[in-house]
């Protein structure tokens, strides 16, 4: 096990992260980041807005959007690309992969050494240069399967 990177959790670390990336750690930004880190479901901007609004009633959806875009630009959060869904955000910038439920659209993180070591095919150079590899598995999650069983 590698020692975990201490710059990835907690408010003090958030401030450090911001400084390193030239972002001002304002109160609103801290709250947005905290709200994202508190969840594992890769929320969209609207969901985060609803959560942050409880603590910061004056915040606007636009601010949440702009902040998330800034965080993404600076590599503080990642955007999850799920087809046909609204933009979703990921506070986990450790190397990981996703399991996407095709029914409830929940996106869950998982870790796998084999996937981390995946070799990209040579032919990909035709399309561009690879920065990172992320595997997305799709299926029906256990919760949805249980619900289905209950109904039948």
Q: Supply φ then ψ for residue 48, to 5 degrees.
A: -65, -40
Which region among 19-27, 49-57, 96-104, 119-127 touches Zn ion (by CB under 5 A)?
Answer: 96-104
Using rule CB under 5 A, residue 101 touches Zn ion: yes
Using rule CB under 5 A, residue 104 touches Zn ion: yes
Name every residue whose Cβ is closer than 8 Å to that of residue 7 and which is 6 or more positions away in sequence: 13, 16, 17, 20
Instruction: Look at residues 8, 89, 21, 12 and name the one whose alpha carbon lies nearest to residue 52.
Output: 89
Minimum distance, C-beta of residue 88 to Zn ion, in the bound complex (Å): 9
Which region among 14-22, 49-57, 62-70, 140-148 touches Zn ion (by CB under 5 A)?
Answer: 140-148
Using rule CB under 5 A, residue 109 touches Zn ion: yes
Our CA angle for 6, 17, 113, nearest 5°, is 50
Q: Which residues make up the interface to Zn ion (CB under 5 A)?
A: 90, 92, 101, 103-104, 109, 141, 144
């Amino acid at each position: 096990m590698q020692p975990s990177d201490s710059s990835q959790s907690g408010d003090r670390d958030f401030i450090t992260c911001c400084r390193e990336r030239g972002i001002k750690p304002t109160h609103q930004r801290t709250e947005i980041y905290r709200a994202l880190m508190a969840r594992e479901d890769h929320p969209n901007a609207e969901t985060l807005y609803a959560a942050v609004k409880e603590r910061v009633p004056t915040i606007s959806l636009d601010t949440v959007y702009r902040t998330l875009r800034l965080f993404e630009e600076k590599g503080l959060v990642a955007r999850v690309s799920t087809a046909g869904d609204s933009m979703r955000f990921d506070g986990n910038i450790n190397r990981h992969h996703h399991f996407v439920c095709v029914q409830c659209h929940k996106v869950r993180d998982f870790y796998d050494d084999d996937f981390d070591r995946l070799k990209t095919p040579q032919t990909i150079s035709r399309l561009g240069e690879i920065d990172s590899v992320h595997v997305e598995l799709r299926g029906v999650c256990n919760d949805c399967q249980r619900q289905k069983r209950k109904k039948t």
